[in-house]
Structure 1
């Protein structure tokens, strides 16, 4: 499913992947490695090999195929440059919500609106699946600004929640978005 595309100008487009093949896994691994090397606290420590990153995306692909999650990608003329996931498989007492995870944009493609496009597409897909609440957490000040600009509500900060890729501690900030 393509949510945004402009083949005339080769502008970035957002689409949902129904599976993760080897080419997708390699491109997604490049985005993940770039973000981790840039200091993003997204569950991985340095050094992150492309093999380990590709294995992660293949596991994500298994969840996509089971219907546990949706995987959105942002693509430009060179391939995948961003991604976000919508986690749908939650406890049975939370059928109304989903979690947003791994919103990543390659450093070469930042400041072009891709993060906003990915988040708006995730929100749209959440609505289409009957979700009325989305939640996420971030350790990025830049991401916090983006989420606030898009209408997400900041809940609070947990100090020393995780580690940065180089081993130093970082806080995480939780946000929610009502989809009604």
Structure 2
């Protein structure tokens, strides 16, 4: 099993998006007893923006994308600019085959300067992952700048939503693991 992989769709470092994704991944992984890792948009390298298909990516970038596709579950996060996710964030998902994420448990997160962007999860991210037929958990987590203190998620409402969403993702990934057919190599041993 590959565990729960987070994708932070921000080029900034440090990044509130990265911190939010990392917190959600850590909580979900602890509840599901799975390994975890984070892939940052910056990990895809400078040539990512000009790639037209996955085979155009550098080996390092392709390895990062393959980790996302192979994950047991995903925590996806994007900063919000002008009411939507970024172009490079969308560019990644434009290159992934629709079947690659079918049925995969996904927790959606987003960050923005204020609460006026809070519906980005429902109006932008959920339809995108609905196209992939991913198993998106019910609770999405949006965080505004004021929800952070010293660069960490801090507001009680945000932490409560993170707990709810992490529990939903952990439950979904554990349920998906129970439905997965046994590994043929393991049964042959």
**TM-score category of the 2 structures, normalised to the smaller one:** 0.3 to 0.5
Q: Which fold has the larger relative contact order, with Cα–Cα distance below 8 Å and residues 6 or more apart in sequence?
A: 2
TM (norm. structure 1) is 0.35
Report the structure, 1 or 2, having the larger strand content: 1
More helix by share: 2
